[in-house]
Structure 1
Amino acid sequence: MESMQQQQHKKHIKHQQTRPPSFMMSMSVRARAVMNHFRQFPVLLRIRSNRFTSYKQFIIYLRQIDRHARLLINRSKFRFVGTGVVTAALGGRAFSFWSSSEPEEKMAEDNVTSPEDVAVKEADELYHNHEIHKLYKYLGEFKDSENPLLLWRLARASRDVAQHSHTDPETSKRLTYEALEYSKRALELDDANFACHKWYAICISDVGDYEGSKKKILNAFKIQEHFKKAIELNPKDATSYHLLGLWCFTFADLPWYQKKAAAVIFTTPPESSFEEALSYFNQAEEVEPNFYSKNLLMLGKTYIKLNNLKMALLYLTKARDYPAKTEEDLKVREETELLLPKLTTKKSN
């Protein structure tokens, strides 16, 4: 007859044989670090309910992605990002307003992408949902990254927070210069990416607001050059046309004293016309109709300058009625509500 001790030992052996294998015994050091991070942030581990029918399948899958765990090493320490290595490529399509024309990256064969690919998708989702403060905080984890796709998005996020109405002036200035630094690094890493050129030009212009008209005029040709390069690299990006139109409008509408200052700085100062500005705003609408409330506003303001009140009224009305999803949309609506009564009065006279 077996002793109580022998019976307990047999039960223990049977339990060992039937229970799921231990994470810590079945996976490499890298994978252990991943799973430790899962334990700290379980909410980040998102698995489609119909993907795994058993715990065993889940373990097998984790072993398959063990070789990808090394991708989580960032500057000699493990870092887990985005929605998780397991489900990096399982989410819905990511959106980004400024890069709506960019082709989607192909998924890896085993549905696993690098952490930085995951971060780009997560950032685009936050941007699409207009969660600018969350986005800035999230991308701040990648400020030392060498990935231009993350850096130009970080530049954009920094700028968005800098221009938010609740951001104090000192913080706004700091973030504006941060955005310039991130955009510059992104461009240095990839000068064949249209968004890197576009955001570098935007950030140079923003910094000019702190450094005076002379500095802004000095940078004018550089800004124009990068907007044109962005269009050359991606002629399907509506915002690049809009921004070049804005550049043209600004110099067409430059006060006389600033034109004189520009003539002192340059032999041939930057100049443009409202007709040229109109052509770029129209091209933006051709590429992507009604993509941006401010483009509709600028079309209306440009038609006012060209004394075409009928078309001005049309586009200002469109801008006013544009669904307000961002703080900028609300500012556009406020401006149109100031302009429309004056325009209506002027037209009736």
Structure 2
Amino acid sequence: MLTKAYGAHAADQPIVAMDIERREPGPHDVAIDIAFCGVCHSDLHTVRSEWAGTLYPCVPGHEIVGRVRAVGPDVTKFKVGDTVGVGCMVDSCQHCAPCAEGLEQYCETGFAGTYNSPTPDAPGHTLGGYAQSITVDDKFVLKISHPQDQLAAVAPLLCAGITTYSPLRHWNVGPGKKVGIVGIGGLGHMGVKLAHAMGAHVVAFTTSESKRQDALDLGADEVVVSRNRDEMKAHTGSFDFILNTVAASHNLDAFTALLKRDGTLCLVGVPEHPHPTPNIAALIFKRRAIAGSLIGGIAETQEMLDFCAEKGIVADIEMIAADEIDAAYERMQKSDVKYRFVIDNATMG
């Protein structure tokens, strides 16, 4: 089935309108008419081949919200008209230990990404949510229960939301815990909202004084300008957990020094160049840890969506039309967005 989409034919080519092929629903498939798709920095990296291995044509997008158009005969969890979401994964091996535990993001043979992963479907690799429709195995489709007028702002939860929710849950963030969120961007603003909703004492870290009030408005209890040594020093040895959302290479020692004994600094951004080697003594003498976390499994993503619906949490977004994607990419590189672009897929018609 042909569908309208937006993507790139090469790394040095702009995002343009194109027709792509979607498979008709198989026995376990859900066909979705896409209403909104968030724009993630991973989309930009992939389209422009800043990460190795981009396959063209490349249609990005893994923060998808839409409505079910059709279901296969063996689908029982979804029906036509349901509001649903699709995140960063559309398949996994389904038989390794991580998959059995609901941790498909750590599939031992590698999960199939929503775009740029091998697939039997034309053109031989997955094509994402910058499109009018998508067909997905029902195991990787999520139920959305937010009000209809919030659906555009729900889309970024499918990546930015789960990327921050999963580590917060894994490290048991909640009442009585002091938690830091480094970076107030697409990921960080969700981290602040979620940690606040979980009941933690939340400290937001930013390099920019101008973001202080923004971070407080998002739910931070305190804000630290990380370039201010006195502000940083005042929090030495006091954090249970720090979630670092910054994808640029930087010195991690400034943040590990803020951890309590047994505290953890968790990284969710992959820098273009490696971080400087951390001070190992600072880890050894306080039994501190530097860890990482990758999105979340399907069950946990559903848990996150339900939690956000219950707490009234959505992303802060700026809506764009499909023909504004390139301009949005340019603004993203300048951090000129509060805090996530979302495409109105109706503009692809």
Where on the TM-score scale, by shorter chain, does this alignment land: which range?
A: under 0.3
More helix by share: 1
Q: Which has the higher contact order (CA 8 A, sep 6+)?
A: 2
More strand by share: 2
TM-score, normalisation: structure 1:
0.25
Structure 1 or 2, whichever has the larger Rg, is 1
